[in-house]
Structure 1
Amino acid sequence: MHIVTRLIAMNRARQLQRQFQEIERSIHALPGRSRARLGTLTLREIGQASQCDFPHLYGTPPEDRYQPWGQGTAIGFTRAQSDNAEVALRGIALWLAVAYHETKESPHASVQPQHRQLLRVLRELKEVHHRDGDIAEQWMNSSAAA
């Protein structure tokens, strides 16, 4: 059973890595103002997810809560591909929040690199706020910005 669990974790890590590459490209293609807005949306999503009993299942319909992982990343990834800029921003924020919580305390070594990559992107978004100055205090003082 341990081998099956490791295989599932490795498959999930590959899936998250492929999605992350697209999400990261989308983030880097955003203008500065949109990146600052994305930072705010992401912080809000991370905070809302952390209020849930199972933060890694944030965005998952209640009837699908017994799967190995939630649908939040799939939903966020689909929305991130939208032609509508607002929907795309919200999709990226959802994906980042759910992936953050899913990888945060994973015991699987194959998932830990994805968490480090997510932390790097979140730090970059935080720095955009710091340069803007007006919203930096939200990031620094928020308990959700773990």
Structure 2
Amino acid sequence: MHFVTRLIALTRSVQLRRQFREINKALEQLAPNVRRQLAAIALREFANASKSEFPHLYATPPEEKYRAWGSGTDIGLERLRSDNLQVRLRGVALWLTVVYHETKDSPFTEQQELHRQVMRLLRTLKEAIPATELNRWMLGEAEAA
């Protein structure tokens, strides 16, 4: 059984790495002001996912909650391929949120490495936001809670 679990985790890691390359390429092409918009959307997605019972299944339809992993990454990637900028940004934010939670406490080294890459990407997004604006958003989130 351990072998099967390891094989499933490896397959998922390969799939997520392939998707990560596409997400990263899309982020590199964004203008600084659009990166700030993405950071704001991602902040909201993370806040919403953290309220969820299972954050790694965020955006997964209820009837699919017993699958090995959720469909949030697939939905995010599908949105990334949209012609509408806002839909693309929401797709990237959703993908980052789900992958962050899915790889966060993984015992598998491939997924731990992907988690570190996602964390680096989130840090670059955070750095795109001026500190005063970030503080205002954080205070707004705290008041909303």
Q: Does the pair score TM above 0.5?
A: yes
Q: Match for residue 36 of structure 1? A: 36
Q: Which residue of 2 aligns with 1:9?
A: 9
- Structure 2 CA distance, aligned partners of 1:50 and 1:72? 14
Distance 1:7 1:139 in 2: 41
CA contact 1:126–1:139 (8 Å) conserved in 2? no
Deviates more, 1:65-74 or 1:105-114: 105-114
Q: Match of 2:92, as an amino acid? A: I
TM superposition shift of 1:116: 0.1
In the TM superposition, what is the alpha-carbon distance from 1:106 to its structure 2 partner? 1.0
Corresponding residue for 1:78? 78
Which ranges in structure 2 are unaligned for 5 or more consecutive residues?
none
Q: Distance in 1 between matches of 2:89 and 2:126?
A: 16
Could you tell me the TM-score, scaled by structure 2's length?
0.92
Determine helix, strand or coil for the equivalent of 1:60.
coil
Q: How many aligned positions are there?
A: 141
Q: Separation in 2 of the partners of 1:49 and 1:76? A: 14
What does the per-residue CA deviation read over 1:3-34, in whole Å, with 9 as the maximum and x for residues that have no partner? 00000000000100000000011011011111
**2:68 aligned partner:** 68
Query: Percent identity, aligned pairs only?
Result: 51
1:90 aligned residue: 90
What corresponds to 1:105 in structure 2?
105
Residue of 114, 131, 134 corresponding to 1:136: 134
Q: CA RMSD in A?
A: 1.5
Cα distance change of structure 1 residues 139 and 14 upon mapping to structure 2, 3 Å threshold? farther
Can you list the C-alpha shifts for 1:97-125, whole angstroms capped at 9, x where unaligned? 01111111112222101100000000000
Gaps of at least 5 residues in structure 1 are none
* Deviation, structure 1 residue 136: 2.1
Measure, in 2, the Cα distance between the counterparts of 1:124 and 1:22.
17
Runs (4 or more) in structure 1 with deviation over 6 Å come to: 139-143
Q: What TM-score results when the alignment is normalised by the length of structure 1?
A: 0.91
* Residue 57 (structure 1) shift: 0.1
Q: Distance in 2 between matches of 1:112 and 1:62?
A: 27
Secondary structure in 2 matching 1:135:
helix
Secondary structure, in 3 states, of the residue corresponding to 1:30?
Answer: coil
